[in-house]
Chains A and B, each alone.
Chain A
């Protein structure tokens, strides 16, 4: 853009100091992840003694072996996949047609319906009424309850609706001439044109499902149905609340620290795999969602 040579000495000092500070912040963001990864690959004895600083000490895969031998780990991983895939598909099934209908000018009561969606962004009944409602609906301890209970989100609808509204009418004219129905116009014209916006909404759903913890903990008592995050929480809470128990579990090869670090790594890896997409679409999504109404 602008040539570096143009800068005075003061400018150069400023630019360099700035780079150093950003570099430090970046390292401080990255370090905890490296620490956890190294911990998961270290021997239990070294981890307990606090000898792990940057790289694995006494390299071993025992912690992973211990984690992977636990049936509850696998069932919770499977459940997280079910909630993530099922929940995201369910959300899209509601949100795409809903947002499309709300974007059509000929819809009767359009203002009212839009307001009804927007209001949920500003006011929630809160934790207790929501919980009691789920219980009254018989959705406690149910896969379906988790998947349907969090399917729709006002922010996502409005984001997609705004995107649909921005698509010029001329795109659909040819389809209209051929006598296409609304479903066909949505499917053949709007959805292909809205791939980035739909991808953004889908990624929002995927991340919130993958990371979802609180409501899964509250709504699911049955251990066989809990997702990975609730399982991880159980492991950490059980062991960290009880130092003696944690000590009794320790062997030379793995410890409470290395085992919980190994679970954390297993849970982070899928997020890292989709991270390039996340980065690409999330920043767009945030900006698209400069949502007022």
Chain B
């Protein structure tokens, strides 16, 4: 069997034959085992296959299609048939003022959302925890969770109506104080405050659930001994509750930073208009306009890939920092 000159003599050959026979038997055994396993457990694979196929067709196949970011994509040639162009689209992007503006807006809007939006649910959870009147607490929670379940089209509709120059409540109230009406949604300088404010209004209540659950897990004995020591409620909130939920806060912060560039562009599409692109256009809305509306699929895919890469780096960095300083991390 072997052509190795060192292996000679009948004894060695017998050994080799034995070994290969054993190997074959074992292999046969494995095949048989897999066969038996499938015969016994085929139902599990029947259950699993639809989900796996779905993932392959709808999520993994587009990942293969992502290569058009490096290609001169044409619909007729398809993904595989289009010629490679290397980094040309990325060069175009970084020479494109609209893309650079979108990048800048994404960073600024994400930053505002983080600074103003991240502490709000924590604050709300701490405050809800201090309410002793159960009916009041339940009613308030029921109401503040509600906007989370309302579609962004309706939320945007409410914003457009409320801020409208002629009929909107905001301008009506401003009129009481003698302030001239402002057509808020056509003014670039108003877009970011309105957008960030709306997201906080919509999500802060619901996001507080995670922190409330963390607070519920704090050991009551901590509070009991604090009461014995004569601590005030303010001190207990500050010295016991907040430090106890710090790990949760850090986890949420990491997730938040990782998703930072995923500005809820659906809401931006609903609220912005050419007059406010200057401050409102983000990378995802840029991709939507260039790609889906404008048909420049390859360029838009390159912008999307860039966004995803930056997001990936962000979440990795945040995770590493969290690991180093607090021993709390996502993975």
Contacts and interface: CB of A to CB of B under 8 A. Distances in A.
Interface of A: 1-2, 4, 6-8, 10-11, 14-15, 18-19, 21-23, 25-26, 28-30, 32-33, 35-36, 39, 47-53, 93-95, 97-98, 100-102, 104, 106-108, 113, 116-117, 120, 122-133, 136-137, 148-149, 151-152, 157, 181-183, 186, 207, 210-214, 218, 229-230, 232-233, 236, 240-241, 255, 257, 260-261, 264, 267-268, 271, 275, 278-279, 282-283, 286-287, 292-293
B305 interface: yes
Contact of B59 (A33, A101, A125): A125
A132 B71 CA distance: 14
Contact of A214 (B158, B161, B266, B312): B266
30 contacts: A10-B234, A11-B232, A18-B127, A18-B130, A22-B127, A26-B144, A29-B143, A53-B169, A94-B51, A98-B47, A98-B48, A108-B37, A117-B55, A124-B62, A127-B292, A129-B62, A132-B65, A132-B79, A133-B57, A133-B65, A151-B54, A152-B51, A182-B44, A255-B167, A257-B161, A264-B158, A268-B150, A271-B149, A287-B210, A292-B330
Nearest to B210: A286
B132 interface: yes
Contacts of B79: 132
Interface string B128-156: 10111100100110111111011111101
Contacts of A35: 158, 161-162, 169
B331 interface: yes
Contact of A48 (B51, B78, B167): B167
Contact of B41 (A93, A126, A182): A182
Given A21-B127, A26-B143, A124-B59, A15 B201 contact: no
Interface residues of B, number: 91
B105 to A, nearest CB: 17
B117 interface: no
Pairs A-B, 10 closest by C-beta atoms = A98-B51, A126-B304, A211-B151, A97-B47, A125-B62, A129-B62, A101-B48, A182-B43, A129-B65, A101-B47
Contact of A29 (B147, B269, B288): B147
B279 interface: no
A287 B213 contact: yes
A22 B131 contact: yes
Contacts of A207: 149
Contact of A233 (B132, B149, B153, B291): B153
Contact of B161 (A30, A39, A124): A39
Contact of A152 (B54, B78, B142, B143): B54
Most B C-beta atoms less than 10 A away, residue of A22, A52, A123: A22
A49 B308 contact: no
B103 to A, nearest CB: 15
Contact of B130 (A14, A126, A292): A14
B68 interface: yes
A124 B305 CA distance: 9
B241 interface: no
B116 to A, nearest CB: 14
A7 B130 CA distance: 13
B42 to A, nearest CB: 9
B330 to A, nearest CB: 7
A260 B213 CA distance: 38
